[in-house]
Structure 1
Amino acid sequence: MSDLSEIVDSLENRISKLLHRHEILKQSNAALTEELQLLKTRQEEYENDIQQWQEKCTSLKLANSILGSDQHKRETKLKINALVREIDLCIAQLSE
């Protein structure tokens, strides 16, 4: 009978350890889920920042090309030609 009692005690001890381990893993999982959400939010913010900086960079390149920077003469000519074509199209639409 003592063998049966020892087996039951052993099982209770193992179950107790498993339940404790399960609780620790649940807490760890909750913390990791929260951290994941925080990192996703940060990533979205960084992607928005990158997009804004790319737009600013494009605007600066365009401004330099319109100002006639030596580095961007070809781009300046292309931009001016595009603007002239757009103006011509607007004038043609207004005259109709």
Structure 2
Amino acid sequence: MSNLTEIVDSLESSVGKLLERQEKLESANQQLEKEIDVLKAQKLQFEQEIATWSEKCHSLKLANSLLGSDQYKRETKLKINALIREIDQCIIQLSE
């Protein structure tokens, strides 16, 4: 009978340790999920910043090309031609 008591005590001890370990793992899991949420928010913010800076960069390049800097002469000519085509389309639509 003593042997059976020792086995039951050993099982209770093991179950207690397992429950304690499960609680620790659940706590760690919750912390990791919170960290994932924070990192996702940061990623979204960085993506928005990248999009904003890319747009600003594009706008600056366009402004430089319209100003006629030597570096962007080809782009300036292409942009002017595109603007002329748009104006021609507007004139055609107005004359109809």
Shorter-chain TM-score range:
over 0.9
Residue 61 (structure 1) aligns with: 61
Q: How many equivalent residue pairs?
A: 96
CA deviation string 1:30-53 (max 9, x = no partner) = 000010011001101100100011
CA RMSD between the two structures: 0.4
> 1:16-95 counterparts in 2 under 5 A?
16-95=16-95
TM-score by length of 1: 0.99
Q: Distance in 2 between matches of 1:29 and 1:59?
A: 45
Superposition deviation, residue 76 in structure 1: 0.2
**Structure 2 unaligned regions, length at least 5:** none
What letter is aligned with 1:22?
A: Q
- The one-letter code of the counterpart of 2:68 is G
- 1:1-32 Cα shifts (integer Å, max 9, x gaps): 11101000000000000000000000000000
Distance in 2 separating the partners of 1:72 and 1:13: 77
Residue in 2 that maps onto 1:5: 5
Which letter maps to 2:83?
Answer: L
Structure 1 residue 63 displacement after superposition: 0.1
Instruction: Give the Cα separation in 2 of the matches to 1:13 and 1:40.
Output: 40
Structure 2 length as normaliser, TM-score? 0.99
Amino acid paired to 1:60 = L
